[in-house]
Structure 1
Amino acid sequence: MLPKHNRLRRSRQFSQVYRQGRKAVSAHLIVRVWAVPQGSAPSPAIGPCVGIVVSLKVHKRAVVRNRLKRRVRAAMRALLPTLRPNLWIVISLRPEATQCEYGEFLRELEQLFTKLEVIHGHS
């Protein structure tokens, strides 16, 4: 589980990211990132906030969807220290993700975050 201060929990937050965020797509993931303006987030210095979306289109069985979410969460835990603090991130899984393992999720997330320039050291 991600720490509570690193989770998107409200529908408004997800909507904000969908409306104003930038998007990058890979074979198994869709990542949307919104840089929160200073002063509008409760405490942006704590770190990025992440939400993970796995729809019924990915797999009908909840057991499979939850397993996929756990794998993505584990990959995000490894990447959180490398991300800028003032971000809201929504990760959506595509139906092809059912074939993915942890290592593939980690690699794809690194590539997408580099493409979106949200890793420390990128502008």
Structure 2
Amino acid sequence: MLSSENRLRRREDFATAMRRGRRAGRPHLVVHLRDGTDPHVAEETPPPPRAGFVVSKAIGNAVVRHRVQRRLRHLVRARLAALPAGSLVVVRALPGAESVASEQLARELDAALERLLGGVRG
């Protein structure tokens, strides 16, 4: 379970990450990242990174969708420390994600985050 401060809940936050952020696609998921650098906001302590998940009905019924979301949430929770402070991350599951092993999803998530974070840093 992600802590309350690390969860995306508002539609506007999802839209910001998906429309204004960068994205990296993989065979079973797409990761959207909006880094937390905003020159117009002067905060002393930046907020923690926040993550949200999109698992559509194309994945399967409610039981299957929730299982995929739990697996993704577990994988993202382990990687929150590597994300920049104030960043917004949306992980969108694609059809076929329900039948892939967690290790494969972890590799795809790592590859997507590496691509996105490499572009932010460099």
Cα pair distance change 1:71/1:44, threshold 3 Å: farther
Q: What displacement does 1:51 show?
A: 0.4
Query: RMSD of aligned C-alpha atoms?
Result: 2.4
TM-score (structure 1 length as normaliser):
0.87
CA contact (8 A) 1:49 1:88 kept: yes
What whole-Å deviation, never above 9, does each CA across 1:65-101 have from its counterpart, x for those lacking one?
Answer: 0000000011011111122112101110000101122
Q: What displacement does 1:43 show?
A: 8.6
Amino acid at match of 2:55: V
Q: Percent identity?
A: 33
Unaligned runs of 5+ in 2: none
What whole-Å deviation, never above 9, does each CA across 1:46-71 have from its counterpart, x for those lacking one?
Answer: 42110000001111x10000000000
Cα pair distance change 1:67/1:92, threshold 3 Å: same
Unaligned runs of 5+ in 1: none
CA distance in 1, matches of 2:45, 2:115: 22
| Residue correspondences, number | 121
Amino acid at match of 2:23: K
Alignment-derived partner of residue 71 in structure 1: 71
